[in-house]
Structure 1
Amino acid sequence: MRRALMALMGTAAGTVLLVGAKAGFSSPSSDPALQPQSAQSPVPGTSAGPSQAPPAGADPTGAGAPGASPAAGKTTQPAGTKTTAPAGKPATTAAKPPRTTMKDGTFNGNPIYVDYGNVELSIVVAGGKITDVKVLDSPSEHSRSVQINNSALPKLRAEALAAQSANIDTVSGATYTSSGYKLSLQSAIDRAFQA
């Protein structure tokens, strides 16, 4: 709180000095009678002419404003103390590492809308492997969709069991069903790894 107040006072004093310099007024700190003796005498080897004047808004004494301490805007601390960062978020424990094998059980995939209807699957995992893929929903509103799915779904199931992943080939003539099958299968596999 104290640092914030000092920083605010230093900023206000700097703003007043900058506005005064722009308007052509002299600040009390630039009056030689008000400066400490050390600020009035030039540093050896330099001249204190107008070319050496500090830039507008700069405070040669570091005082900032009348009545302000020379350390306004600066922080000092006793020798031998350590500086620590302000308290932020508390340290969190490391997240549980992802599973490297699927958990045993039955996991439903997301229902995926494709042209002509939804495709939704569930997988059965035993011993960390997919042992069965069940179709919970598939396009069935049109007789042609039923005919295509009766041919495509067993092929997709066999490929999924062989690959043990959703990285399977699309069945020719059943592009929509195949894409929905892969997406629903992948979401079920993801759930098996996250369980």
Structure 2
Amino acid sequence: MRRIVLWLAATVTVVVLLFSYHTSTDAPAATPPAATASSTPGGSSSATAGAGAPPAPGTSPTTTAPSSPPASGSPSTASGGGGTYTGDVAQTRWGPVQVEITAADGRLTAVQVVEYPTENPRDQEINARAIPTLVDETLSAQSAEIDMVSGATVTSEGYLQSLQSALDQAGI
């Protein structure tokens, strides 16, 4: 009888301690890469600052698109089977995610994440690592058939939804 009482007390204590444990959300955010080089069909190469990478903490995401962005779901240019297409906004648990792609001759030439969760340092830390990985995988695969980033499941799901919307518009 005494063993049962001790076992029960120990089990209850462990369960209470387990449920009261809080993880830290005040970790410093990782710094995204400064610049990446992208190559366009025909051999020309251009460097874009942080193409597809999240901005430094405390700044808002920016794009190289025209000053008035196109309506969600519509191409901003559509000449010769190419152009820039903005995917639908994917509403996730932590905030909206929206992807913009640039296509030429039926191939992806650039991917930019124009909106993603940045509400707290943890969001910034996760997305500083996840977004460049998702962009690189997309450009390598030339489709939405990519793996999600471990630890960034919510952002990855929103990214894939918006990416597929943009790819559908581009006919890729």
Alpha-carbon shift at residue 103 of structure 1 (Å): 2.7
Q: Which runs of 5+ in 2 are unaligned?
A: 1-79
Give the structure 2 partner of residue 156 of structure 1.
Answer: 134
- Establish whether residue 115 from structure 1 lines up as the match of residue 115 from structure 2: no
Q: Percent of aligned pairs with the same residue?
A: 46
Q: Which has the larger radius of gyration?
A: 1
Instruction: State the alpha-carbon separation in 2 of the partners of residues 116 and 158 from structure 1.
Output: 23
Q: Does 1:125 align with 2:103?
A: yes
Q: How does 1:28-177 map to 2 (within 5 A)?
A: 103-177=81-155
| Deviation per residue, 1:34-62 (Å, 9 max, x gap) | xxxxxxxxxxxxxxxxxxxxxxxxxxxxx
TM-score normalised to structure 1 length? 0.46
Higher strand share: 2
**Are the counterparts in 1 of residues 106 and 171 from structure 2 also a CA contact under 8 Å?**
no
* Structure 2 counterpart of 1:184, from 162, 165, 168: 162
SS of equivalent residue, structure 1 residue 122: strand
Structure with the bigger RCO (C-alpha within 8 Å, sep 6+) is: 2
What does the per-residue CA deviation read over 1:58-81, in whole Å, with 9 as the maximum and x for residues that have no partner? xxxxxxxxxxxxxxxxxxxxxxxx
* Count of matched residue pairs: 93
Deviation of the 1:115 alpha carbon:
1.3
The 2-side partners of 1:176 and 1:123 are apart by 20
SS at match of 1:130: strand
For residues 136 and 105 of structure 1, the distance between their equivalents in structure 2, rounded to whole angstroms, comes to: 16
Moved over 2 A (4+): none
